[in-house]
Amino acid sequence: MTAVASISRSSSKVVSVLATLLFALLSACAAETSCETMCKELVFNCDYAAYPSVDSCLQGCEFDASKGADIDGELECIEAATCDPIETVSCARQFNPEAGAQ
């Protein structure tokens, strides 16, 4: 095998590995967070008055997460509540330790 052929194969492997890593990184960045999913549900599907926009909901959700709220659990509960406002508030209280103190 010539040196040129060896370098060409090595370069090809490096390019292949880099392409795989780039694809994995882009896929991870494109994944929606639980806060984003929950806020879109509340704002677009439920028209939840407490959040006039997804951005305002995200601010609250990210704050709650920083205080220890179980966002994944709250999201599952909200999806099961099918936009019922009383159930939605119950979900917030059940999965967010700060919500009960308000």
Q: pLDDT tens track of the chain, all 102 residues? A: 565 555 556 555 644 544 454 444 444 455 899 999 999 999 999 998 888 999 999 999 999 999 999 999 999 999 999 999 999 999 999 998 777 654
Is 94 in the same domain as 64?
yes
Range of the domain at 16: 1-31
d(CA 102, CA 100): 6
Is 83 in the same domain as 55?
yes
Prediction pTM value: 0.66
Domains identified in the chain, total number: 2
pLDDT at 33: 95
d(CA 39, CA 57): 6
User: HSE-up of 61 (CA within 13 Å, CB side)?
Assistant: 25
